[in-house]
Amino acid sequence: MTIRITAPTAPEETSSGRRLAWQACDPDGSPLGHACLHLFTKHGQRHLAELDIEVQPAARRRQAGSLLLDAAVAAARQDGRSSVVTQAETGSPGAAFLTARGFRAALALTYARLPLATADHPALTALARTPHAGYELAAWDGTVPDELADTFVASRRAMDDMPMGAVDYGTVVWDLDRVRAAAAAVAARGDVLHTVAAVDRSDGSIAGFTELVVPAGGTGDAQHYGTAVLPEHRGRGLARWMKAASIVQARERHPRLGGLLTDTADNNPHMRRVNDELGYLPTHTAHEYQLAL
C-alpha cells in the first residue's frame, strides 16, 4: 500500500525560529504519523534543526517513519543546516530507528517526577525557609519584573556551561526580547511560568533561578524548565533552596497539581543529587540523538 507524505506546511514563525510539518497518510487519507522540524534562526544556532517524529504503532515497519525522516532531513539540508537533533526514550523503537538511520546518541537524560501527594512537605518547607547568608529569594509569574529584568537576563549565562554531552546545540544568546518572548509563548498556551530567583543582597543582582511551568487549570503535572546558578555563587546550596521554594509555592498556589516533572543530563551529577534529595523519583531515561548533514 502506498503511503503519501504531505508537502511541508507553510513555515510557522516562533520566537526562536521556523517550524515545518509533514504528515504520512494512507491512500484513503488516514493519518499514520507526522514530523515537525524546528529551524533555529537565532544567532549561534543557525546551523541546527530539531526534529520531532512520531508514527502510530500500527503503522510501523511500513516506511512511514523513513519517508517522514527523509522529507525532514532534505528540508534541513536545503535550508543550509549542518546538524539535526532529536530525542527518543532508551530502548524504544524510536531509538532503534534513529540508530539505524545514522543518528548517534550524544546525551543521556534521566527523567524524574516529584509526586506531591507523598512529598515530604514539612522538610521542603523548612528547607525553603532556611536563610542563606547574603541572599534572599524573589518570585514572579510570567515576564520578569522590570526592576529585575537586566540582572535576570545577565543571570542566564548560568546555563552556558550546562552539561550537554556531545550534542552541538550551538550558542544560545539570551537578551530581554528573548526572555519576554519565552514568557509570552507560555502564556499564549494558557500555562503559568513561575520563577524563583536567588538575589545577592550586596548589589541586588540575581545569582540563580529556577523555572516551573504550571499547566492551564493547575491540574496534572507541572514541568521544570531550567535551574541554574552563576559560577561565582555556586557551592552555597542555592539550587536546592530555590527549587524547594518553587515546590512549596506550587503546592500552596495550585493544590490540584499531581506532581512536578524534571529531566537532568546524566553527566550533571550535582543537579541529579539535588533532585534526589528533594524527593524526585526517576521515571525513565532517554537520549538526545544527533545527525551530521
Convert the pLDDT of each residue in 193-246 to its tens digit.
Answer: 999 999 999 999 999 999 999 999 999 999 999 999 999 999 999 999 999 999
Where do runs of H (alpha helix) occur along the chain?
64-78, 93-100, 121-129, 146-155, 176-188, 238-253, 269-278
Q: Kind of pairing, strands 83-89 and 48-55?
A: parallel
pLDDT tens digits for 244-280?
999 999 999 999 999 999 999 998 999 999 999 999 9
Residue 182, all three cell numbers: 519565552
- On the question of pLDDT at 68 being above 80, the answer is yes
Cβ atoms of 223 and 267 within 8 Å: the answer is: no
Residue 178 grid coordinates: 528573548
Cell numbers at residue 52, please?
520531532
Average predicted confidence (pLDDT) for the chain = 92
Q: First CA to last CA across the chain, in angstroms?
A: 30
- pTM of the entire structure? 0.89
> What residues are paired with 287 via a beta bridge?
88, 108
Q: For residue range 172-181, what is the model confidence (pLDDT) as tens digits?
A: 778 899 899 8
Least trusted range by pLDDT, from 26-30, 187-191, 205-209: 26-30
Which residue is associated with the grid cell 554531552?
Answer: 165
Distances (CA, A) of 153 to 44, 179, 201, 204, 214: 17, 7, 18, 14, 22
- The answer to whether 179 and 144 are in contact (CB under 8 A) is yes
Q: What is the average per-residue pLDDT within 11-31?
A: 85
Confidence at residue 70, expressed as pLDDT on a 0 to 100 scale: 95
CA dihedral 44, 48, 50, 51 (to 10 degrees): 170
| CA-based nearest residue to 195, from 143, 157, 234 | 143
